[in-house]
Structure 1
Amino acid sequence: MLNLLRLALRNLFAHRERAVLLLAVTASASGVLVGMMALSSGVAASQREAITTFLSGTLNVGGFFKVHPDTLAPVMGDATRVREVVTPLVPEGCVLRERGRGQATAGAGRRRHPSFIVSVDVAAERDALARFRLREGSLDALSRRRTVALSTTVADRLQVKKGDLATLFAQPVGALRRNALDVEVVAVTEKAGLLGGSAGILVSNDTLRELEGYQPKTSGVLQLVCDSGAEEVMDVDALGGSWRDSLRKAGYEVLPPTHEAYGDKLVPLLREGWRGQRLDVSTWEDESSFLSFVTEGLAALTLLVGLVVLAVVGVGLFVSLSVAVRERTREIGTLRAMGMQRPSVVGLFMLEGLLLGLVGSTLGAIIASSLCALLKGAVTLPEALTDLFFASTLPLEPGLGGAVLAVILVTFAAGLATIVPAARAAKLQPRSAMEAL
């Protein structure tokens, strides 16, 4: 084996022009794969951050309440008791935050704009609120009564800015008239990718209770928020199952997992003829299911690009080594005349291809990973891509796993491409050396 390695290295050095060209091909292929995987990982991370900032926790327990069958409120009537049930099941490194959710219409003058409304616990969510990108104002001001933060989509539609007055309209459960609440605009938030203005109205929990006419002990949803270390070791689905079991034992009726976003459940539940309180446990992936096409599309694109790149590597090496077999007929025949067996000839050519693939793909992965690290957050995106990628700058997350996978795939493709040329070389007879003289 050592002799074959020496021969392979000597042959690559003797034909270094061809070897350099093939190294460039394999390095480019590996670099493209690393870049695509870094982009997919970066977009997925940006999307998750946007979802867990605006709409969801890692795991959520929310409520749906019906006074009579044709009304529905996204609320838990006794959130304190629900918290007592799930708190013992909260993993280390995680906390529960209380939020509200619903639908409302914001108005200013004669202009109106309907949107989902999200309420926050301003005092307990300083870190989360710091992740909101603001065009103007401060979210700390939401701690005052009757204040609101609007997304750029809603604010532009209403033509309001910080300091202006707006009116929020909502339909309380069981009431025949809509509630109206005059509020002061204290901040305008930038869009969060494709979420756009879907969570365009942001208020405090107390303001939402006043608008909807809820009792003080009510809450819309309890959201589990964890640090990165806790999330890495957490089995979210298993934890969600534990929450459901505990809530059922406590006497609550819990909806089965449907892997749908909160907004997608409203209409089907409204059509059902039940009354009272039902709870729902969902993951952040459930709540972002309407955005799954982004990550799934990027994954499909990465797969397609990977197949094309590997095909280019395979065809390039196949053609190059096929030509090399013809050019090296005398050399191969001489080796066969000196006693080299056919399996050794096959091994020699395959070893050359594998060396080209391994060295080239490793260089490409290192260069691409370094470029991704340098370009992360440094390239400003146009608005269309900002919405799609959930970030204002190019989101790249290069990882060791992606680099290793790229090296393995390119090296495998290179080895696969050498099989046929190597088999042709092994079929040459020793007399071909004499005929080539």
Structure 2
Amino acid sequence: MFSLLHLALRNLFAHRERVLLLLGITAAASGVIVAVSSLAAGVATAQREAVTTFLTGDLNVGGFFKVHPDSIAPVVGDAGKVRGVLEPQVPQGCSLRERGRSFALAGAGRRRTGSFLVGMDVASEKDSLSRFRVASGRLEDLARPRTLAVSTTLAERLQVKTGDLATLFAQPVGGGRRNALDVEVVAITEKAGLLGESAGLLVSNETLRELDGFKPGSAGVLQVVCGDTPVDVDALGTSLRDSLRGAGFDVLPAANQSYAEKQMLLLREGWRGQKLDVSTWEDESSFMSFVTLGLTALAVLVSLVVLVLVVIGLFVALSVAVRERTREIGTLRAMGMQRRSVVALFMTEGLLLGFVGSALGVVLSSVLCVALRGAVPLHEEIANLFFSGTLPLTPNLGLCVLAVVLVTVGAGFATLIPAARAASLTPRSAMESL
């Protein structure tokens, strides 16, 4: 084994120009795979950060209340009792926060625009507030009654700035005439990808209760927020559903849909009262999953194309090498080398080329991704799609190892036929090639 490895290394050093070319091919292939996968992983990370900042926790316990079958509101009526069931099961390193959720029409002068309305417990969300990017004003001022923060997208539509007055319109629980509430714009938040339009209104939970006509003690949703703490949200969600049912609550089955999608479906059902819903952050952002799914599909497609090109390129180069090395191979056969040893020799050379080249490409691509992360500004449309104003690149160790394995295995497959052809040569071939 060691003699074959030694012989393979000597052969590679003896054909340096060809080896450098093949190393460049494999390095480029693995570099492209790492770059595309880093982009997909970076966008997924940016999307999760934006979603868990604006809309959702890692796990959400919300509810739907129907005064009569033709009306529905996203609210938990007895939030204190629900909180009592949840708090003992919140994992260590995670926290429980209260958010409100609704839909409102914002107006300023004759201009109107609609958006999801998010309520916040400003006093207890100091850490969450720091994750918002604020263009002007202070989010801490939302603690004052009847105040509003809007995204830059909605601020441009309404033509408002901090200190201006706006009016919020919303449908109260049970239907009837719309409520209207005059509010002061105290902050303008920067865009958070596609959420800049779909979740562009922020108020305090008290302001949201006043606007929607919710009673004191109610809540829109209780969210388990874990940050970097690893938690199996699916298993935790199942456990919370069982606990809530055991406490006498009517809990909806799991569904990969946002609360707005569930609300539209439940509105058609003829029941009254309260139903609770437990959802993950992926459920709540399912309407935006096309972004990460599309980039993942693109990464897989690019990887497959690159691998095919690598296999074809190595196959052609190694086939030519076999012809050029006919005398050498015939001499080795004349000296007693068995056919399987010749196959093993060429396979070792191919695998070495694949491994060294792919490892080099992965290292260079990872370093480049880290250097460019956050340094390349994106056009507005691309920034909205990627949930980031700069190019989000997040190299992942597992994906880097996978790229090395894929390119190395591809190089091995490309070597099979040339190695078999080399093994089929006879000692007489060396004499005929003189």
TM range (shorter): over 0.9
CA distance in 2, matches of 1:381, 1:171: 38
> Does 2:394 correspond to 1:405?
no
Q: 2:261 aligns with which of 264, 287, 303?
A: 264
TM-score, normalised with respect to structure 2: 0.99
Shift of 1:40: 1.1
Conservation of the 8 A alpha-carbon contact between 2:258 and 2:283:
yes
Number of the residue aligned with 1:160: 160
Shift of 1:63: 0.8
Shift of 1:393: 1.0
Per-residue CA shift, 1:242-274, capped at 9, x if unaligned?
A: 110111111110001111011111111111000
Q: CA distance change for structure 1 residues 317 and 272 in 2, over 3 Å: closer, same or farther?
A: same
Number of the residue aligned with 1:388: 385
> Does 2:326 correspond to 1:339?
no
> Does 2:388 correspond to 1:430?
no
CA distance in 2, matches of 1:385, 1:126: 30
CA distance in 1, matches of 2:136, 2:359: 47
Conservation of the 8 A alpha-carbon contact between 2:118 and 2:203:
yes
Which 5+ residue runs of structure 1 have no aligned equivalent?
A: none
CA distance in 2, matches of 1:432, 1:108: 89
- Which stretch of the first structure deviates more once superposed, 139-148 or 172-181? 172-181
Shift of 1:148: 0.3
Shift of 1:276: 0.2
Which amino acid is 1:78 matched to? Answer: D
CA distance in 2, matches of 1:400, 1:201: 38
C-alpha RMSD of the superposition: 0.9
Conservation of the 8 A alpha-carbon contact between 2:329 and 2:422:
yes
Residue 418 of structure 1 aligns to a residue whose secondary structure is helix
Which amino acid is 1:335 matched to? Answer: L
Shift of 1:196: 2.4
Number of the residue aligned with 2:366: 369
Shift of 1:82: 0.3
Residue 254 of structure 1 aligns to a residue whose secondary structure is coil
TM-score, normalised with respect to structure 1: 0.98
CA distance in 1, matches of 2:306, 2:140: 50
Number of the residue aligned with 2:413: 416
CA distance in 1, matches of 2:226, 2:331: 68
Shift of 1:26: 0.5
Residue 291 of structure 1 aligns to a residue whose secondary structure is helix
Q: 1:253 aligns with which of 225, 230, 250?
A: 250
Q: 1:309 aligns with which of 302, 306, 311?
A: 306
Number of the residue aligned with 2:117: 117
Within a 5 Å distance, the mapping from 1:153-232 to structure 2 comes to 153-228=153-228, 230=229, 232=230
Within a 5 Å distance, the mapping from 1:92-111 to structure 2 comes to 92-111=92-111
Shift of 1:175: 4.3
Number of the residue aligned with 1:32: 32
Shift of 1:434: 1.0
Residue 264 of structure 2 aligns to a residue whose secondary structure is helix
Within a 5 Å distance, the mapping from 1:23-172 to structure 2 comes to 23-172=23-172
> Does 2:235 correspond to 1:243?
no
CA distance in 2, matches of 1:33, 1:267: 41
CA distance in 1, matches of 2:153, 2:323: 66
How many residue pairs align between the two structures? Answer: 434
CA distance in 1, matches of 2:320, 2:252: 66
Shift of 1:174: 1.9
Which 5+ residue runs of structure 2 have no aligned equivalent?
A: none
CA distance in 1, matches of 2:163, 2:209: 23
Number of the residue aligned with 1:295: 292
Number of the residue aligned with 2:13: 13
Conservation of the 8 A alpha-carbon contact between 2:71 and 2:175:
no
CA distance in 1, matches of 2:157, 2:322: 70
CA distance in 2, matches of 1:428, 1:285: 59
> Does 2:278 correspond to 1:276?
no
Residue 70 of structure 1 aligns to a residue whose secondary structure is coil
Per-residue CA shift, 1:44-103, capped at 9, x if unaligned?
A: 100000000000000000010000000101101110000001111110011110010011
CA distance in 2, matches of 1:251, 1:348: 71
Conservation of the 8 A alpha-carbon contact between 2:173 and 2:214:
no
Conservation of the 8 A alpha-carbon contact between 2:100 and 2:219:
yes
Residue 322 of structure 1 aligns to a residue whose secondary structure is helix
Which amino acid is 1:110 matched to? Answer: R
CA distance in 2, matches of 1:89, 1:362: 44
